[in-house]
Amino acid sequence: MNIPVVDLNNFLSGDEAAKQNFVCDLGKAYEEVGFVAVKNHGISNELVAQMYHEAACFFNLPTDVKQKYEIPGLAGQRGYTSFGREHAKGFDAADLKEFFQFGQEVEDGDAIKAEYPENVQVEEAPEFTPVMLHAYRCFEQAGKALLQAIALYLGLPEEYFDRQVHNGNSILRAIYYPPITSEPASAIRAEQHEDINLITLLVGASADGLEIKSMTGDWIPVTSLPDQIVVNVGDMLQRLTNNKLKSTTHRVVNPPREKWASPRYSIPFFLHPRMTMSLACLESCIDEQNPKAYPDYTAGEYLDERLKEIGLK
């Protein structure tokens, strides 16, 4: 199965016909597949290379050094989370990964700053945090444009999501899957799951392994091509649209035995709104054939519930 490819320039160019075609193509992809590949997304190849270089610099540090940056009480929302801490919802086995998370930097005096912990600076990898925070802003800008297109597809005002994602609770996560050194108990590095947030933006990982579950139940390998990012729908958007836009199930599988010695790095951007945003199903997405599927939640309430389910709280 080919993941549909869209060009963000068509949405931003000022050409109204190109913009409408982009909106239709994006919405159709999210209804039928749940994933889309995006060209001209604004995250340069140079920045991507920097991100992966700095991630490797951090994760190659000794374990006791990395553990200095694991902050108790933050549920992994900032800083380091050690190997085996997180598991997928509904599964007891831990994912075979460790990760480091960066969050929102409020720079405009917004009172919401008090709700967010400070980002963690790593003494031994001084460029790690600055590079990731620069990437955070680039992902945020691309994600905002994609949400504007999604709003138009849903028949909402183009700026519907703008205020909700301004200084939102988004997370940039650098993930490290270490080399496999003995026969694993499972063929899965990260068990099947759906993302919590509105949308997830992912630049190409350092190795294959990502698979998505098609509408027919088949597992399809996904590899980001150069100059593209893969963007998928998360559970918050699925709830808001009463299942019109599907949060696609995906997983990361182990490499073939001859590649066990190779680690895998991945850096997804989880675009979250402000925690006060209502996820109550849109009235326009509810009818006799599609009755309301979810109780009313705020984004903060839903995030808290999910962090408990995956073992971080």
CATH number for the domain spanning 259: value is 2.60.120.330
Can you give the pLDDT at residue 187? 54
Please give the tally of structural domains in the chain. Answer: 1
Strand order in the sheet with 5-7: 5-7, 35-39, 228-233, 199-203, 264-271, 171-177, 98-102, 79-81
pLDDT of amino acid 313:
63
Spatial neighbors of 216 by CB under 8 A, at least 6 apart, are none
Amino acid 1: pLDDT: 58
Amino acid at 282: L
The partner residues of 228 in beta bridges, in order of sequence, read 39
Domain that holds residue 22: 5-309
pLDDT digit string (tens) for the chain, length 313 residues: 567 899 999 999 999 999 999 999 999 999 888 888 999 999 999 999 999 999 999 999 999 999 999 998 877 789 999 886 766 566 666 677 899 999 999 999 999 999 999 999 999 999 999 999 999 999 999 999 999 999 999 999 999 999 999 999 999 999 998 887 776 666 566 678 889 999 999 887 655 778 888 777 888 888 767 788 989 999 999 999 999 998 988 888 888 787 888 888 999 999 999 999 999 999 999 999 999 999 999 999 999 888 888 776 6
Q: Is 50 helix (H, G, I), strand (E, B) or coil?
A: helix
27 to 52, 154, 277: CA distances (angstroms): 31, 8, 22
Question: What is the per-residue pLDDT for 33?
Answer: 81
